[in-house]
Structures are given as C-alpha cells and as structure tokens.
Structure 1
Amino acid sequence: MKKLNALLFNQGGKCFYCDAILDMNEATLDHVIPQSKGGKNDLDNLVVCCKYANHAFRDYSPKHKMAVIKELCCLSFVCKKIFPREEEITDSEDLEEPQIEVQPKKKTQDSKTKTTPNEPQPEKKTQDSNLKKTTKPDISMAYQLLLESIAAFEKEGKEEVSSQIKNKMLELNPAFKEDDYGFSQFNKFLLHAQEQKVVTLKKHGKGSNYVIKKRP
C-alpha cells in the first residue's frame, strides 16, 4: 500500500497509461516488465494504473503494452471505457503497431462564378453640331431694342444712321448679335425689320448705310 501511495503521488494521482484521475479503489500496481518475464518487484519496475488496464495487459511486455495503448488511443479517455475485455486481447508478442490511414482532405472549390463575355456597349449617339436644332431667340425682342435705340437718337436730335443705331443697340444690350437671329449682316436684319413693317429705310449717301425711321 505504501508503494502504491508513493507512486500514485509521483504520478499526480493519474493512471500511468491512460492519464485518467484514479480513485484509490481502482488504483493497482503494475509491473512494467512482467514478473513472468523476469521483472523485479521494486519501484523502478512498478507503476500505478487502473485495474482495467492492469487486467487487460496481463503479462504483456512493455512493447506490447505501448502498442495496445497506441491502437486504442486511450491516453485521453478512462480505461474502463476503452480497454477491451480480456478475451479480446491476443497473446502475440509481435503485435504490429496499427497503421492509421489518413484520408486526404477533399479539395473544396468555391462555386465557379459565371462569367459572361463582355457585351459590346452601345455606342453613344453623337450628333453633328450642324444637325443640332438651336432655338432662336424671339426676334420681337430685337425689334423692341431697335425701336428703343431709334427713340434715343430722336430724343438727342441725331440722325438715325444704321451704323450708329447698331452701336446704340449694343450700348443698351451688349449681348445683341444679329447672327443669333439668323442674319449674317446687320443690314439684312434691318431689311427684314422693314419687311415686317417695323421700320422704314432710306439710303444714306453712297455707302451701305441707311437712315432708319419708325414706321408710322
């Protein structure tokens, strides 16, 4: 009993073979080298194990015992649950170390993402600048500016000559441009105003100037 208590204390209260915590009523002494094979009954040849392991090992050699332990993978379990019954263990001294087949891990592949060929993007419709429709400003506003310029000249007592009238129109509205209304020249704008019965025109000298009057 003293040997058992001393060895169990040195083993941390655990079975030498399976590392399970032992109760005193389950702890037994085991000869590492069986006495039947010349093993001595001293502390160097004794270990404490559970009675289930001791019963299963019988007179096995140390090599045979370790092979059984490896085969049963008992180091993390309670011997009572994993050690086979006495009749299930053979007496063969040449028990081969069990071969553990390691199954290769199946390669997992992420589901293939469906890829679709790049579809040609529809070309953006481009319109020729010459084909773009531009909204012309209201020409009546230009006529109103023309009449205001003529009135200013009449108030100042000056003759309403076309070249001077245009300068007055630009003075009143710097943004005025005859080509905004579709006329390439200012005189064409004046002729159109005459056709629309807005003003009357008379030639001024030998040049291209006109004297402009409000239509009565």
Structure 2
Amino acid sequence: MLAFARELLTALHDYIPEATQKSPAFTRRNIFLRDDYKCQYCSSKFAPRDLTLDHVVPRCEGGRLEWKNAVSCCRVCNGRKGCKSLKVRKRYHEYVRRAERAVSVCVRIFVEQEDVTRRFAPPLAALR
C-alpha cells in the first residue's frame, strides 16, 4: 500500500491543474494589443495615446470592466457613443468572440513560456 502511494505521489508531482493557469493581466495596453490599436467602431488605427477604453455595455446599464466588455475606441467614437448601449448587437458578439480568442492565445503563450522555463531551470527548483 505504501509503495502504491509513493508511485501516485511521484506521478502527480508535475501536475498543474487548469485552475492555476492565469489569464493575461487586464490592462489598457493588453486591450489595445488585442484590438490591434484600432478603434472598434470606425476601424481606424491609432497611436495608444489617442485611444480610449470603452465599455460595450455601459457601466450605467450594469456593464463590468472585463475582457468581454472592453474595447479600444478613438476619442471621437467614444464621445459619440457616450453611455448608450450598442444598437448593433452583431458587432458586440464579434468583440466577445475576438476577446475570448485573444485570451486563449495569451494563456497558451503563457503556458508555453512556463514549460520552457521549467525545462531549463530544474536546478532552481531545489531552491524553493
């Protein structure tokens, strides 16, 4: 019985549960990167200093500041939209799908980097 428990512990030593994989940080820069520095309403490309972060579903209507509800937007379009909800829901669903795809790509890159780090840093693991 003890030998079985030891083998089980050895087998599970390098297991990383899904819950510990972190999604990328929610920052303005990451939103702008996801949206390729383009205003999501007029599709024009801007410098980061000329972009703003817009809530697709406004905060006054219960919209939260999260990946699925934030898009990059130029100042003109953001002022035009104001605190109104998007009339064209089709566009909103495009943003949601794109946000989910961007998050999954960033998580995959993060996991790959973590794997490379583990491969080349086993001596450092003993210092923990």
TM-score (norm 2): 0.46
Larger Rg: 1
Higher helix share: 2
TM-score (norm 1): 0.28
Highest RCO, 1 vs 2 (Cα 8 Å, sep ≥ 6): 2
